[in-house]
Amino acid sequence: MEDTKPWYASQTVWASIIQMAVGVGVATGLLTGTAGTAIATDAPGLLVGIATTVLGVWSLYGRVKASKTIG
């Protein structure tokens, strides 16, 4: 990319970080009220949390590795 900016000025970076935090919160049951029992009783919630976290990592990786602007 031609112009650079600090990582903390990127909306994509912040959205990815928040998405990963929500994914971890859902997967562990912290955001669903099932903390400690998420694996045993809330398998769909666990899968959604894991998927959300993985997608957040993927989008953050894509933003860091981007070499061209979207036009």
pLDDT in tens, the chain (71 residues): 567 788 888 888 899 999 999 988 888 878 777 666 655 566 777 788 889 999 999 999 988 888 877 76
Q: What is the pLDDT of residue 16?
A: 92
Q: How many domains does the structure of the chain reveal? A: 1
**Angle of helix 11-28 relative to helix 43-65, nearest 10 degrees?**
160
User: Would 48 be classed as within a structural domain?
Assistant: yes
pTM beyond 0.85, yes or no: no
User: Would 5 be classed as within a structural domain?
Assistant: no
Give the range of the structural domain holding residue 42, as residue numbers without chain letter. 10-65
Asked if 10 and 60 touch (Cβ cutoff 8 Å), the reply is no
The widest CA-to-CA distance across the chain, in whole angstroms, is 49
User: Would 3 be classed as within a structural domain?
Assistant: no
User: Would 1 be classed as within a structural domain?
Assistant: no
